[in-house]
Structure 1
Amino acid sequence: MSKPGEEIMEVVMTLIMYGGDARSSAMEAIAAARNNDFERAQKKLDGSVEAINKAHEIQTELLAKEADGQKVEVTLLLVHAGDHVMNAMTYHDLAEEITELYKRIN
């Protein structure tokens, strides 16, 4: 049985991990596009979306729990983890646009 707070810490760390993976993949997509490797850029963008979707599933589970009347412990760390995910989504969107720009330029 987990101690109080352990479950939310696992959620926090998982969200931060997926957010970091998504952001890194988006940055790698930009680097690949800069080098005219658009196939690799697309694979990295796809990886970014996959990580974002996994993070979103976790967030949706938390929302569903709360909507069902279960108490969800909202901590500053959880808010911080959510920021990581949102930041990753922004990086992904920009990486898509930058990749398209590199395609047009080249």
Structure 2
Amino acid sequence: MNELEMQILQIISKAGESKSKAFEAFKKIEDSDYEGARRLLKEAKEIDVEAHKAQTELIRKELSQDGEDKLPVTLLMVHAQDHYMTSQLARDLIEKITDIFESKEVK
């Protein structure tokens, strides 16, 4: 496996880990454990930052190359972007759901 593939797999791995944490948080909401949900969402966000760093490194490499030496866009790279994007979306939505449910319980 080459360096590019390792970086792409890091994005996939970190995004998957982040999304798992977000859905663990969702389960905490069902139990009205909002503190636990927020803790898991914070962990998810920290993991997303690691995926973002790997993504940014790939973007930086692509921008520093010229013409024919550009990084190839592969199905694996597209798959990584999809995982990263959906992990962020899941986390953002679950954060909002946490806010809504917690505010309804406080009233």
Q: Percent of aligned pairs with the same residue?
A: 35
- Counterpart of 1:45 in structure 2: which amino acid? L
Higher mean alpha-carbon deviation, 49-58 vs 71-80, is at 71-80
Separation in structure 1 between the aligned mates of residue 46 and residue 76 of structure 2, nearest angstrom: 23
- Counterpart of 2:14 in structure 1: which amino acid? Y
Instruction: Let me know the Cα RMSD of the aligned residues.
Output: 1.4
What 5-or-longer segments of structure 1 have no aligned partner? none
Structure-2-length-normalised TM-score: 0.87
Separation in structure 2 between the aligned mates of residue 100 and residue 31 of structure 1, nearest angstrom: 14
The residue matched to 2:72 in structure 1 has which SS? coil
What 5-or-longer segments of structure 2 have no aligned partner? none
Report whether the alignment pairs 1:71 with 2:80: no
Aligned residue pairs, count: 102
1:13-92 matches, within 5 Å, as 13-69=9-65, 71-92=70-91
Structure-1-length-normalised TM-score: 0.88
Runs of 4+ in 1 over 4 A off after TM superposition: none
Q: Deviations over 1:28-83 (max 9, x none)?
A: 11111221111111111001101111111111111111111263232111110110
